[in-house]
Amino acid sequence: MQWLLAVFMCLLTWGSPGVYGYFLRSSSRCMLIPRSVALCYDIGYSEMRIPNLLEHETMAEVIQQSSSWLPLLARECHPDARIFLCSLFAPICLDRFIYPCRSLCDAVRNSCAPIMACYGYPWPEILNCNKFPADHNLCISTITDETTSSKRTVPRASCRDCELEEASTTKEILENFCANDFTVKIRISRKNMTSTISAFDLDSMLEVLKHGLLLLRAEIYPRLQHWLDLDATCVHNIMRGTHTGVYVISGEVQNDKVVVNKAYAWHKKNRNLQLAARRWKHHRCRA
């Protein structure tokens, strides 16, 4: 994340700060960003200004208020969401405050507000994008180019939360396999057990029980890895805090995006799931 610090430093070489390049208050001071500010810890710089741009006067207030944004960040609703939020909660310790650009706020709001609406939360007035400067002013602009970047796709809003299912009967499991476009047995590992923001790896060895007409066998691995990258909350719910696990997942393809509908933990005690997997090869789904 050293590039982020470079971006901030480059901003200082731009023209007059204008109304949004606020000079520091006499009470302003630099403080180390503690681990308890999980939203912004290890973001690419180590010190922040207190009071911050949201007028939080103490670190305790910053910790309390910033933690409420972690679930949204885990949904990976926009690649620049963390940069935007941290520019406000933990502004870098420079000789003046630098606000996020209006375009950065617009981009993050347009992707993340629909996710918040799923749970009954509106986009807060304190983050009203009209309050932030236009791009020609001194401000922090978007880092991700959504039109040309091939490294990261901005997620679509989804109000569905997947959970780990309890396998009841072999018949019900087989019916679930029939109802979905694909069924795959996979191993998932969590990269960063110590971080609040989860990231996951998919083992290259996977067992395809069903790939269906909508999903070519060669496409399954990259699409599932894409799912891991985009829907960290769903994967976190499935893994339930474990470091690694084997799962049987079933789902569908919607607009080239994998949507997981059912997930079962693969272990010795789950005999119905193991029996369903063995029977599937010769099972005939009802038309």
Residues 201-253: pLDDT tens digits?
889 889 999 987 667 778 888 888 888 876 766 787 788 778 899 999 998 88
Q: Is residue 224 a part of any domain in this protein? A: yes
Euclidean distance between CA atoms 98 and 62, whole angstroms: 18
Taking only the tens place, the pLDDT of each residue in 117-132 is: 877 889 999 999 999 9
Residue 17 has pLDDT above 70, yes or no: no
Place of tokens 């741009």: 53
Between the alpha carbon of residue 166 and those of residues 174, 187, 236, the distances in Å are: 14, 18, 16
Domain CATH number, residue 231:
2.40.50
Q: State which of 82, 110, 131 marks the end of a domain.
A: 131
Q: Is residue 45 a part of any domain in this protein? A: yes
Q: Give the model's confidence band at 270: pLDDT under 50 very low, under 70 low, under 90 confident, else very high.
A: confident
Residue 274 has pLDDT above 80, yes or no: yes
Lowest mean pLDDT among 5-9, 242-246, 267-271, 275-279: 5-9
Around Cβ 25, how many Cβ atoms within 10 Å?
10
- Please tell me whether residues 277 and 174 are part of one structural domain: yes
- Whole-number CA gyration radius for the chain: 23
Supply the pTM of this predicted model. 0.57
> Which residue pairs from 195-201 have beta carbons closer than 8 angstroms and sit at least 24 positions apart in sequence?
195/38, 196/38, 196/39, 196/70, 196/74, 197/38, 197/70, 197/73, 197/74, 197/82, 197/232, 198/74, 198/232, 198/235, 198/236, 199/232, 200/228, 200/232, 200/235, 200/239, 201/228
Q: Which two structure tokens, joined as six digits, stand for 78?
A: 């926009």
Domain CATH number, residue 106:
1.10.2000.10
Identity (one letter) of the amino acid at 93? C
Domain count, the chain: 2
Euclidean distance between CA atoms 117 and 181, whole angstroms: 28
Structural domain that includes position 93 = 29-131
- Residue 39 is given by DSSP the state T
Q: Give the model's confidence band at 136: pLDDT under 50 very low, under 70 low, under 90 confident, else very high.
A: confident
Q: State which of 109, 131, 153 marks the end of a domain.
A: 131
* Beta bridge mates, 165: 264
Taking only the tens place, the pLDDT of each residue in 67-79 is: 999 888 877 788 8
Taking only the tens place, the pLDDT of each residue in 52-61 is: 999 999 999 9
Lowest mean pLDDT among 157-161, 168-172, 249-253: 157-161
Nearest to 160 by CA among 46, 251, 24, 92: 251
> What's the mean pLDDT in 84-98?
93
53: helix, strand or coil? coil
